[in-house]
Structures are given as C-alpha cells and as structure tokens.
Structure 1
C-alpha cells in the first residue's frame, strides 16, 4: 500500500473515532448536568448505540453494498451527522435530544463497517496492514478525551458553566470535515450488483445460527452476550461516576483505557498463542470483575490509584475478550459462515447484549440514587463486578478449551 493511501486511510480512522469519542464518553455526564436527565433517560440515550448496531446491517447491505461507492455513503452520513450534532448542541431538554441522538446513531453505526470496507479495499495484505491504519482510530479517540480535559469542559467549573455542551459542537465541526474528506478517499465500488438478491439472514448473521449446535460455541456465544451487561455499566456510568466524586480531568484520564487497548492489542498474539482461547477469555472476564471492584473501592483522593487501574484494565477487558472472540468465531465458522458468524456475534453483543446491559445499568443507577441525583456508587459498581464473576463461573464450568484450526 502506497504511503499516500495509508496516510489518507489513517486520517479517516482518526477522524471517525475522534467524532465518536468527542461526545460519547461524556454523554452521561452531559445529560445529567446540562439537561437534568434521569438515570433511566441516560440509559435510554445509550441504547441508541444498540439500536444502531441492529439496524446497521440493513443499511450497509441494502445501500452501501449495492448502489453507491462506500466513500460517498460515508461522506453523506457524516455531513448529515454534522447537522444532527449541531442540533444536539442546541437541544435544551431530553425530549428534543433523544430523537436526534437516535437518528444519529442509526446513521453512525454503519460507518464503522464502511471505514473498514474502504480500508480493506486498498490493502494487499490486510493481516499486516490493517492494524497500522486502525490504530489511528484509537489515537483519535484518545485525542478527543485529552482535548476535552485540556479545555476543562469536564471540570467542576466547566460543568457549572455548561461548557460541556461544546463537545457536541466540536463533534459537529469534525463530522463536517470528515464528510468532506471522505469524498476524496480512494474509490470503493459496491460489492454486490443491483440485481443481486439481498439476503437478510446473511446480512444479520442468521445463516450462522447452525454453529450454535456446537455446545462449545453456544457457551461462548451466550457468554459474549452476558459479558456485555457489565460492559454497558462502564460506557454509561464511568464518566458521571468520576465527575460526581470529584476526579479532575476525568475524560482525559478515561483515555488511559484506550492507551492500554493499544498495548494489550500488541500483547494479545503472544498471550493467545501461549495460553489458548479459554485462558485468554478467562483473564478478560477476571479483569472485568476486578475493574468494577476497584471502582467500588476507589475515591478521588487516596484511592484514585484504584480508579486509574480500573480504567487501565479496559485494554485487557476489551482486547482479550472481543478480539479473541472474533478470532475464535472466524476459525470456528469456516469458509462457509465467516461473514455471517461475525455479523451474528456483532448483533448479539453490541445489539442484544448491550441493549440489555444499558437497561439494567439505568435501572440500578436509578435505584441507588437520591432525589438530588447523588449515587451510592459502591453499591452500583459491585453489581457489574458480581455479574462478571457469575459469567466467568458459567464459562469456566461449561467451556472446554478449543484449539484454533489454521
């Protein structure tokens, strides 16, 4: 791949994940402090990600794969997204906010597949070349977090003055830039002809349901759905939690999680080849249980180190479970169900699993809060820690170690 192409694809990835991180990390804090949203309303806002993940295969399969080049669809979506982000910036109550964020996420979630498609189309050796491009997405996510904390939008003074709403304006400007930039990306023509029949079962992975006849894969599949319940607690509650207990520059500190993601991504191949699928997944679930335990025991003063360790464990939690799971699914599915199996796992985790997780997290947060919006965070965090332990015990008991077939 030519240097010019690599730079353009890396820039695309940087902007894609910068735009997402610019508002997603702090949305829970923003809704509570700026719009006075309840915990259940905040939960409802986060479920739009799951709704978008469920609808994404339809949009990609019906439109991007059949009628228009992927880079043009990406550009149009981000141009519309820029307008929606600006409308969100101007929202003054949750009733106005929710339909806008729902519309945005239905459009945005398919772009995660589009940027991958555009990248793979330019690569001769994706196994070696893709990670070099994709890592710039993680850097973009980190950069947005650092910038928000550098501007002190997430500080106590920033929250009191309502400055956190500027995250939506920043996301709007960057989405506009990415929309325009996308039109200059290398051409990625539709993969399917207009006359080719669209198969819904293939788009959302239903073709791969036959894989669940294998008990081992069925245990992994169910564990993947269940572990997304505690994952949802982190996405929904981490920023409001850190802000409420008085951790300064909380968004920048949360970017430590993405830094660890880069490091553990590099460590994963070594760990995976040495210890195998089962032990790698067990380590990931153990890390989930410990991260929430650290959150329950930590505080903004002498216990801040526990919070930072909990954030840093994100790399182990995410990479060791989801990336390992993708590798295991790919190897288990075989040539016939490779695409369908990945679609099924994505639908099950980001769709069904996190949809359930956001609902439970909202209900638990609401139960452990008072009329002034203060939370009993220790009780809240012990629940996803306990769920992680239960999922771990279920997995350890029933899953037998599987050898990856090359």
Structure 2
C-alpha cells in the first residue's frame, strides 16, 4: 500500500466515525429543543436499527453487484450530508423524524463500505487494518471532545452538531471519489435474500451453546439501547459539564481493552469473557443509578469507562466466537446474521422499550427519577447474564473444518 493510499484510507475512516459521533451521542439532548417526548426519543434512536436492517439490502443488491464501492460510498455521504444539513432547519419532531430515518438508511451501509474499500487495498489485513481502523475510534472521540470543548450542550446549540457532521459528510463524499477503485465483488452473480441476511449460517443455531449466545446477544442489546439513547440526556440533567466529551472516555476505554484482549482470552476463555462483558452492563447501570455530579461523580465516570469491557468483552468476543464456530464456508454469512440480529432486532426492541420506561419516570418538565430508570436495564442485563451462565457450555476442543455439523462444532481458543 502506498503512503498516499494509507493517508486517504485513514482520513476516510476518521471522517466516517467523526460524522456518526458528531451528532448521535447528543441526539437525545438535542431533541429537547424540538419538544420531543421520551417515547419519541426512543423512536428517533430506533432509526439506527432500521438502518442496520435495511443496510444489507443496499450492499447486497447495489454495491456488491453493480457499482464500485467507493462511488456508492461517495453518493451516500453526499446525500447524507444534505439530509443532515436539512435537519437543522426543522423545528418539530414530526418533520425531523422522517429526515433522520432517511439519513440512517443511507449512513448505515457506509459502515460496511469503508471496510470493503480498505480491505481491497491490503495484502495483510490483520496487520494493516487495525492502524487504519483505530482512526475511526479517534474520530468519534474527537467529535465528542469538540462538542464538550465548544460547550454546545450547555449553551443549547446542539443544532451545530448536525452542521458539523453535515460538513464532514460532504467532505467524505468528495474524498470517496478519489479513493482506489473497489469494483463490485459479485458482479453478474445472482443474489438471494438469504444471501443478503446471512441465512446460510442459520445451521449454527443447532449448536445449543451458540443458540444461547445468539439469544443472549439479542437480549443484551435491549439494555444497551438505554445507554445509547439516554446517557447524554441523563448526564446533562444531573449536572455533568461537557458530557459529550466525558462520554468519549468510553471509546478510549474500548481502545485500551482491545489491546489487552489477547491476554484475557488466554486466561479466561469464551464463556468467562462473555459473562464479564454482560456483568459490566449490570455494574454500569447500577453506577448510573446511584451516581451524581457531586459526591458520587466517580460513579458516573466509572459507568462511562466500563464501555470498553461492555463492548469488547461481549461483542468483539462474540464476533471471534462466531468466526471460529462458522468455519471458512459460513464466516461472512454468520457475521452478517449476528449483526442483523443484534444492532437490528435487539437494539430496535430496546429503543422502543426504553422510551416509554423513561417517560414513565418523568418528574416535572425537565427531570426524571434516573435511579429507578437505570435499575431496569440493570435488571434485564442481570437476568440475561444468569441465563447465559446457566445454559452456555464453553467447549475447549478445537474443531474448525468448514463442513462440520453445527451441533458438533466447538470453539477455538
């Protein structure tokens, strides 16, 4: 890979996640300016899940068959930038919602496209991809720090986050057309609905332990939605200054634990890694329930920093577990299937559940009984954890032949 290509791919990855982190984290707080209810807040965040559900069809039916990935990426970001800018002109939730839904439908496919463009240029992805992908996390962190540094939350100027993200999206849209060519991978091939959503890997569910993991993954995304949908509003409501900037500590934690994961794998194994990830969710919500901006400020920070364990120990471990269990034949299909189930179905259920629950504990115009609210996702996560520990078996024997029956397949450590 040439230096010019490396710089372009790094800029692509940085902007991709700078855009998302630039408005998504503070969306719940911004919606207060549109007089949106807590239920509508959950509905707005559910657009991410709808985008995740629809994204495979855009990739499978368009990008993989007809057009080069970098061109599709460019068009989607140009359209997305226009939608984000238009969103800044809207003054009520009823008009804002269809725009943000349309935006998430065009944005979510770009997450796969940037990976496709990057991998196409690499001869050794395992070594070349991480230094480029880490720029994406850096983009998310810098977006949060920028919002906190400029004080947009405290000054009620969160509409500027959409303008900032719109500008970055337009920039990435233009940059995309200069990226190395990534021709359609399945040009001329017939693509079925089953191919698109990864139904080829459904046989893995015959394995009782994998079925347990799969159902736990969907279920744990329900309390996860509470974190994404309401944490920024909660932190601002309890008096934390520059909350968006503080929340970027979660991404910093994610990076740190990602580096340490190989060490934990050797010592703990899959079951303990997954269980610790779910336990971290329980602890995080308990810390939020009893934390405040005064004497228990450390609890709020602790709950944010736990993001690294919550995400890496469960989702990254789960991706590795799925990859090893599926074998070469079903790797891509299995990853697509589990992503659709978690970020699509699980998060969608969580978004629609979280809004009414938060609304039920509303106190007055701008306050909530957050202790009662956070104990609910903590309880859900605890139930999922107990069921997982009881039903999941962590097999040690290695069995990775691609044609192995899913009932007999066992995880590689």
User: In the alignment, which residue of structure 2 is the partner of 1:164?
Assistant: 158
1:131 aligns with 2:130: yes
Confirm or deny: 8 A CA contact 2:254 2:307 kept in the other structure.
yes
What SS does the aligned partner of 2:191 have?
coil
1:223 correspondence with 2:216 = yes
Using the TM superposition, give the Cα deviation of residue 65 of structure 1 relative to its aligned residue in structure 2, in angstroms.
0.5
* SS in structure 1 of the partner of residue 34 of structure 2: coil
| SS class of match (1:90) | coil
1:371 shift after superposition: 4.4
8 Å CA contact retained: 1:282, 1:392: yes
Aligned equivalent of 2:402 = none
Match of 2:69 in 1: 70
Listed as ranges, the matches of 1:31-46 within 5 Å are: 31-32=31-32, 34-46=33-45
1:186 aligns with 2:193: no
Q: What is the CA-CA distance between 1:10 and the residue it aligns to?
A: 0.9
Q: Confirm or deny that 1:405 pairs with 2:379.
A: no
Task: State the partner residue of 2:28.
Answer: 28
1:115-154 to 2 correspondences below 5 Å: 115-154=114-153
Q: In 2, Cα distance between the equivalents of 1:396 and 1:7?
A: 44
1:379 and 1:336 mapped to 2: Cα distance?
46
Q: Structure 2 matches for 1:389-400, cutoff 5 A?
A: 389-400=382-393
**Paired residues for 1:3-402 under 5 Å:** 3-32=3-32, 34-155=33-154, 158-159=155-156, 163-193=157-187, 195-402=188-395
Q: Secondary structure at the match of 2:219?
A: helix
* 1:22/1:144 contact within 8 Å kept: yes
- The alignment's C-alpha RMSD in Å is 0.9
Unaligned runs of 5+ in 1: none
Which region of structure 1 is more displaced relative to structure 2, 315-324 or 2-11?
2-11
Paired with 1:321 and 1:136, the residues of 2 have a C-alpha distance of: 22
Deviations 1:1-57 (A, max 9, x none): 33322221111000000000110000000002x101000101110000000000011
Contact 1:276 1:402 in 2 (8 A): no
Q: Is the 8 A contact 2:28 2:41 kept in 1?
A: yes
1:319-347: CA deviations, max 9, x gaps? 11101000000100112211111111001
CA distance in 2, matches of 1:23, 1:402: 42
Give the whole-Å Cα distance in 1 for the aligned partners of 2:262 and 2:50: 32
Secondary structure class of the residue paired with 2:286:
helix
C-alpha distance in 1 between matches for 2:204 and 2:252 = 35
Deviations 1:71-107 (A, max 9, x none): 1110110000111001111110001100000000011
How far the C-alpha of 1:270 sits from its partner, in A, is: 1.2
Shift, 1:353, TM fit: 0.3
2-side partners of 1:327 and 1:81: how far apart? 32
Q: Using the TM superposition, give the Cα deviation of residue 405 of structure 1 relative to its aligned residue in structure 2, in angstroms.
A: 2.9
Task: Tell me whether 2-11 or 337-346 shows the greater mean CA deviation.
Answer: 2-11
Tell me by how many angstroms 1:269 deviates. Answer: 1.3
Partner of 2:404: none
Give distance in 2, aligned partners of 1:12 and 1:111. 11
Quick one: distance in 2 between partners of 1:181 and 1:312? 33
Any conservation in 2 of the 1:23–1:168 contact (CA below 8 Å)?
yes
